[in-house]
Amino acid sequence: MVMLTRLADLPGEQVHAYRLVNSKFPPIALFDDVADADEFETLYRIQALTNPRLENEVGRIELIPRQEIPFGISGCSYATAPFTHINPEGSRFSDGSFGVLYLAATMETALAEVHHHQDKYWSKVRGLNYERFVFRGLSCTFADHLMKDVTSLSLSDPLYDPDDYAHARALGRAVKDAGCPGLRYNSVRLTGNHCWALMTPRPVSSIIQTAHYEMVWNGHLSSVNTISEP
């Protein structure tokens, strides 16, 4: 069992961090069209009667308690989507049974993290000779109060294994089960930088769109370019 009491607590500040999302997936308007959980329930029921694609758009809404959704903020859909559209293969701090909102301290760090995972994913697709992937940059403001800090651990710790996520997933599960809102950790893909793994969107106060970026594939991801500024 992971002993969370041994991990340092973050001091609790308003933090600015960054994220990339694939631009082919638009924001989920339903989350941004309401101010609170009651309005969401009403609109969701109405939409369900006429929109056969609602479940695909909103995702598995049963996976997140309504009180954890930060209704009324700018970019509520961006904050909520990782918890209703979950990758069943998991991620560093999740085994695929729950969502995590990953954020990076700088856009360069976010780009490095996404570049690595995209390159790894598309290298498994046979016959893909050329493709262009466009991502939407996001700037997030959130409070890191009550989050844990594991940046004091060196990159040689099993938590930071570049390919084996067993230790990290055990920690992620312990953090979530303890009701802790998230943790700060070292970036594995851009040494000297750090990221956050939020187990709930509740701490988020704003997520706004910034620039767009493209990653070009020609056997590997050969370039990353800014294609539009905010």
**What are the backbone angles phi and psi of residue 183, rounded to the nearest 5°?**
-150, 155
- What is the C-alpha separation between 30 and 71, in angstroms, rounded? 10
Percentage of the chain modeled with pLDDT above 90: 73
Residue 136 confidence (pLDDT) above 70: yes
Whether residue 114 contacts residue 104, with contact meaning beta carbons closer than 8 Å, is answered with no
pTM of the model: 0.92
Count Cα atoms within 13 angstroms, Cβ side, for 141. Answer: 7
Coil, helix or strand for 46?
helix
Q: Token pair of 211, please? A: 């620039």
* Look-up of token digits 């370019």: 225
- What is the C-alpha separation between 159 and 187, in angstroms, rounded? 11
Higher per-residue confidence, 9 vs 27: 9
The helix or strand, by DSSP H or E, that contains position 130, with its residue range, turns out to be: none
Residue 229 confidence (pLDDT) above 90: no
- What is the C-alpha separation between 209 and 132, in angstroms, rounded? 20
pLDDT of residue 26: 77
What's the mean pLDDT in 142-153?
95
Query: In whole numbers, what is the pLDDT of the chain averaged over residues?
Result: 92
Residue 18 banded pLDDT, cuts 50, 70, 90: very high
pLDDT of residue 230: 64
Coil, helix or strand for 32?
helix
Q: Token pair of 18, please? A: 């960054």
What's the mean pLDDT in 39-60?
87
Residue 24 confidence (pLDDT) above 90: no
Residue 17 confidence (pLDDT) above 70: yes
Strands 14-22 and 131-143 turn out to be antiparallel
pLDDT of residue 2: 65
Question: How confident is the model over 80-103, as pLDDT tens digits?
Answer: 999 999 999 999 999 999 999 999
